[in-house]
Chains A and B, each alone.
Chain A
Amino acid sequence: EVQLVESGGGLVQPGGSLRLSCAASGFTFNIYWMTWVRQTPGKGLEWVANIHQDGSEKYYVDSVKGRFTISRDNAKNSLYLHMNSLRAEDTAVYYCARDEISLTYWGQGTLVTVSS
């Protein structure tokens, strides 16, 4: 059974940093692109970033470029999102998902709240 379990969310002050993790199981992690998607309170879904199977390609939504970094550790079947210079508008539930266009499996999400 495919499982994606996010962790690392929490309350952080504006300008702060946070690292999200996503533990994957039930599939061969290193042959899939992986994606981060977020949902802001009361709003729809927003694609955040994705990463190639071997980490050689990474893509970001404009609003997080230069502040967020997506990475992965295939030996640990884990996906990460390093978030710096956090802003109030980054407050959202962050989901990791498998694949890069048709997101076939999603995690339950982890809540990030940016507030003073």
Chain B
Amino acid sequence: QSALTQPPSASGSPGQSVTISCTGTSSDVGGYNYVSWYQRHPGKVPKIMIYEVSKRPSGVPDRFSGSKSGNTASLTVSGLQAEDEADYYCSSYAGSNNLVFGGGTKLTVL
């Protein structure tokens, strides 16, 4: 039940694209198509942005996209906007009804 690895920070200018990685193992990210991404603004409740690697819940802008290759999942935010500045966390199913999270990435819009 080791945490997934995310970069502590990422940044981009308005309008640019930024990709955040989430690295696990074949026992979690690589073994299941159950990667989710959550956005959390300070003092706010986490909001699911991506589920099952690349699916977007209704209401989430299509600027947010998810993908996976091997043991690494990625969240890409295109056309960065000021309101995208937040902490982003990935999670993955890890078997036996366990869930594992990443350490979080602080996204800064320059």
Q: Which residues of A pack against B, CB within 8 Å?
A: 35, 37, 43-47, 50, 57, 59, 61-62, 95, 100-104, 106-109
Known A-B contacts A61-B1, A101-B93; the reply to A47 vs B46 at CB < 8 A is no
CA distance A100 to B100 in the complex (A): 11
CA distance A59 to B38 in the complex (A): 22
Number of B residues, CB within 8 Å of A: 25
Are A103 and B48 neighbours in the complex by a CB distance under 8 Å?
yes
* Of A50, A59, A104, A108, the contact of B48 (CB 8 Å cutoff): A104
Closest to A107 in B: B45
Q: Which residues of B contact A (CB under 8 A)?
A: 1, 3, 6, 34, 36, 38, 45-48, 51-52, 57, 89, 91, 93, 96-104
Contacts A57-B97, A59-B98, A102-B52 aside, 8 further interface pairs with beta carbons under 8 A come to A44-B6, A44-B104, A45-B89, A46-B101, A47-B91, A62-B1, A95-B46, A104-B51
- How many Cβ-Cβ contacts under 8 Å join chain A to chain B? 60
CB-based nearest B residue for A45: B101
Query: Could you tell me the distance in whole angstroms from the C-beta of A96 to the nearest C-beta in chain B?
Result: 11
Cβ–Cβ < 8 Å partners of B99 in chain A = 35, 47, 50, 100-101
A47 and B98 contact, CB distance less than 8 A = yes
**Residues of the B chain whose Cβ atoms lie less than 8 Å from the Cβ of A45:** 38, 46, 89, 91, 101, 104
User: Given the complex, which residues of B lie within 8 Å of A35, measured CB to CB?
Assistant: 99
How distant is the Cα of A104 from the Cα of B46 in the complex, in angstroms? 9
